[in-house]
């Protein structure tokens, strides 16, 4: 590894830095920005929560994001390949981690008596003992596929609602009718399946065309469109009479509502929103040529992500307040409250505002889905040594079949009693449907765990020194690792941003994500 390593000849690369930024922003900007962020902000003290969230993005999200990009670019590999590439010297630390995992499993078993979960953690620990950190790469790709299986169902709903909006069918004026219409769609297994398959087909079509002609091209067209649509909606929303109350609800800081839990919510959301811990950014980083600046691209991606979340809040809350709706509707906010809100806007253009909003949502969901699929495609192509086309078709079929479980379980478990029993056994008690449970397992458990392991891996095994050289690299001919004491390395290590970044990657990010994880496990309470 000490010698000069050139870009692998046959790997596809982004055509431009702008294309890369748009693709990564497309992955980051998703349902989380448009639905989840405004909603949790409203509940957690408005502007005060936004400040905490910005802090989490800057201090934890950005360092981990840089770590993922650097891992991808240095190894020019998918997540599994990336961990294999840096494997040297990781044995002792991974064995310590395996030991820690067994301890954690025992703690979960003793304190929360959730033996299913304890066995899963123990199995993961044994896998880490056997295969070292390569297991983390495997989990990254696996979780991306699992997330896609339910994200595709919600993506399907956004496509169905876009159609309904333009067809003028979202013309209800009271919450009961809106709720009934949504319930009718979500519990109609055949309709959800059709929506999900259409969504998967579009994602597959884009990935099929390749990195530059597919993912990059689609992102360069769709992302600017997304910003235009959200701006149109913001202008409509904030100019409504009575919009001021909504702006106040969303943005006025109320520090009394900030608790330890809000900090953890903010941290968890920062991970989810930047698409961290899934290997997507490792994959996208691996398509970066050596001469592109990672640092400034990562900052732009985080800025775009936050900007869109803020704009979405400004499109939603002023309209909801101006039209007399209630902001605390939870999951139903976008599918039920918003259509009524937009219909109530004077001028009978409700179908147009609804149409714009659901296209916005559909685009956001599609670009995220594309990144999830691309992560799996890169992994399968590299490890099964098959062509991109075969990988795309194979994965799309497997994920679509798995997604049927989410499609058919929404609203009613009676379709699959066996699955409910199995999940009950593993999780202790099943509260929501399969889709909710999968979302809970992936975003509250696996993502912070993966994020923690990536930070530990980069901070302690690959090493912040080598990683920061990758971040500052500006050309193909620079050696991957520099001799200790070399002038460039000394100069680099002196730089304040590098020193601050290493502090966060080595200590603060792992400790805070560990706390988030233990909190999700119920082992730490506030
Ligand atoms: N970052 C996306 C969002 O904000 C969610 C996402 C998670 C996308 C995982 C891809 C992968 O909605």
Q: Among 156-160, 353-357, 443-447, name the one with the lowest average pLDDT.
A: 443-447
pLDDT at 486: 61
Pocket test for ligand 1, best of 61, 151, 272, 446 (most atoms within 8 A of CB): 272
* Rounded Cα–Cα distance for residues 320 and 313 (Å): 10
Closest CA to 392 of 400, 20, 279: 400
Tokens 């900052």 found at: 299
pLDDT tens for each residue of 14-28: 999 999 999 999 999
In 98-216, DSSP assigns E strands to none
Q: Is the model's pLDDT at 491 over the cut of 90? A: no
Q: For residue 308, what are the CA distances in angstroms to 10, 177, 338?
A: 35, 30, 18
Taking the C-alpha atoms of residue 70 and residue 258, their distance in angstroms, rounded to an integer, is: 34
Give the closest residue (by CA) to ligand 1 atom 9.
275
- The whole-number average pLDDT for the span 279-308 is 91
Angstrom distance (rounded) from CA 41 to CA 180: 27
Per-residue pLDDT averaged across 249-270, rounded?
83
Secondary structure class of 245 (helix, strand, coil): helix
| pLDDT tens readout for residues 461-488 | 888 888 887 877 765 444 444 555 565 6
Output the six-digit token pair for 347: 């001028």
Question: 447, 449, 453: which is closest to 96 by C-alpha?
Answer: 453
| Highest mean pLDDT of the ranges 63-72, 244-253, 327-336 | 63-72
Exposure on the CB side of residue 321, measured as CA atoms within 13 A: 20
Q: How confident is the model at residue 141 (pLDDT cuts 50, 70, 90)?
A: very high
- Residues in contact with ligand 1 by the CB-under-6-Å rule are 27-28, 30-33, 147, 272-273, 275, 278, 280, 368, 371-372
> In 3D, which of 455, 516, 458, 58 has the Cα closest to residue 274?
58
- Looking at ligand 1, which residue's alpha carbon is closest to its atom 10? 368
CA of 147 to the centre of ligand 1 (A): 9
For the chain, how many residues are written?
A: 526
Which tokens in the block code for residue 84? Answer: 């294999």
276 C-alpha to ligand 1 centroid (Å): 8
Q: How far apart are CA 72 and CA 503, in angstroms?
A: 21
Which atom of ligand 1 is found nearest the CA of 369?
10
CA dist., res. 365 & res. 217, Å (int):
17
Residue 4 has a pLDDT of 35
Looking up tokens 């679509």 gives 400
What is the 381 CA–ligand 1 centroid distance (Å)? 23
Q: Which of 148, 275, 312, 442 to mutate to test the pocket of ligand 1 (most atoms within 8 A of CB)?
A: 275
In this model, does residue 180 exceed pLDDT 50? yes
- First-last CA distance in the chain: 45
| Rounded Cα distance, 464 and 509, in Å | 13
Output the residue whose Cα is nearest ligand 1's atom 2: 30
Given a cut of 70, whether residue 164 has pLDDT beyond it is yes
Residue 5 CA to ligand 1 center (angstroms) comes to 32
CB burial of residue 490 (10 Å; 0-12, 13-18, 19+): exposed
pLDDT of 108 higher than 90: no
| Three-point CA angle 264, 60, 67, nearest 5° | 140
pLDDT tens per residue across span 395-417: 999 999 999 988 887 756 566 66
Closest ligand 1 atom number to CA of residue 371: 10
pLDDT interval class at 418 (50, 70, 90): low
Which of 139, 368, 370, 374 for mutating ligand 1's site (highest number of atoms within 8 Å of CB)? 368
Q: pLDDT-based confidence at 427, cuts 50/70/90?
A: low
- Provide the whole-model pTM: 0.87
Q: How far is the CA of 272 from the centre of ligand 1 (A)?
A: 6
Tell me how far the alpha carbon of residue 275 lies from the centroid of ligand 1, in angstroms: 5
- Ligand 1, closest atom to CA 144? 11
Q: What is the mean pLDDT of residues 170-196?
A: 86
Rounded Cα distance between 404 and 480, Å, is 45
């Amino acid at each position: 590894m000490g010698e000069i390593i050139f870009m692998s000849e046959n790997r596809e690369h982004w055509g431009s830095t702008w294309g890369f930024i748009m693709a990564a922003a497309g992955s980051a900007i998703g349902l989380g920005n448009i639905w989840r962020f405004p909603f949790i902000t409203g509940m957690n003290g408005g502007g005060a929560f936004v400040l905490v969230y910005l802090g989490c993005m800057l201090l934890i999200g950005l360092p981990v994001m840089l770590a993922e990009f650097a891992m991808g670019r240095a190894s020019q590999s998918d997540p599994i390949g990336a961990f294999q590439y840096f494997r040297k010297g990781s044995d002792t630390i991974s064995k310590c981690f395996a030991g820690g995992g067994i301890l954690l499993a025992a703690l979960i078993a003793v304190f929360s008596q959730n033996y299913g979960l304890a066995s899963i953690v123990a199995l993961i620990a044994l896998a880490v003992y056997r295969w070292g950190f390569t297991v983390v790469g495997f989990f990254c790709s696996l979780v991306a596929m699992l997330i896609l299986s339910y994200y595709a169902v919600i993506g399907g709903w956004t496509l169905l609602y876009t159609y309904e909006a333009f067809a003028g069918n979202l013309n209800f004026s009271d919450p009961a009718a809106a709720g009934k219409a949504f319930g009718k769609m979500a519990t109609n297994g055949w309709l959800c399946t059709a929506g999900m398959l259409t969504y998967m087909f579009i994602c597959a079509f884009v990935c099929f065309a390749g990195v530059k002609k597919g993912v990059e091209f689609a992102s360069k067209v769709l992302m600017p469109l997304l910003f235009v649509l959200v701006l149109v909606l913001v202008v409509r929303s904030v100019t409504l009479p009575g919009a001021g109350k909504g702006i106040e609800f969303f943005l006025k800081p109320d520090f009394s509502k900030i608790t330890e839990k809000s900090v953890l919510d903010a941290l968890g959301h920062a991970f989810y929103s930047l698409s961290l811990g899934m290997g997507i950014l490792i994959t996208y980083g691996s398509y970066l040529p050596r001469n592109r600046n990672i640092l400034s691209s990562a900052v732009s991606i985080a800025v775009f992500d936050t900007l869109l979340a803020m704009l979405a809040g400004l499109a939603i809350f002023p309209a909801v307040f101006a039209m007399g709706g209630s902001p605390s509707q939870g999951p139903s906010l976008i599918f039920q409250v918003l259509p009524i809100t937009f219909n109530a806007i004077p001028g009978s253009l409700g179908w147009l505002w609804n149409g714009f909003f659901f296209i916005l949502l559909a685009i956001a969901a599609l670009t995220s889905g594309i990144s999830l699929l691309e992560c799996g495609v890169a992994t399968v192509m590299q490890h099964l040594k098959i062509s991109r086309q075969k990988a795309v078709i194979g994965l799309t079929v497997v994920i679509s079949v798995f997604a049927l479980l989410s499609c058919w379980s929404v609203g009613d478990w009676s379709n699959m009693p066996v699955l409910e029993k199995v999940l009950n056994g593993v999780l202790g008690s099943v509260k929501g449907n399969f889709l909710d449970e999968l979302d809970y397992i992936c975003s509250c458990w696996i993502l912070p765990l993966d994020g923690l392991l990536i930070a530990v891996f980069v901070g302690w095994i690959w090493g912040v020194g080598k990683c920061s050289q990758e971040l500052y690299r500006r050309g193909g001919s620079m050696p991957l690792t520099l001799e200790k004491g070399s002038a460039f390395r000394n100069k680099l290590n002196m730089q304040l941003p590098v020193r601050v970044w290493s502090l966060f990657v080595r200590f603060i990010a792992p400790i805070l994500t560990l706390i988030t994880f233990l909190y999700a496990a119920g082992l730490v309470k506030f």
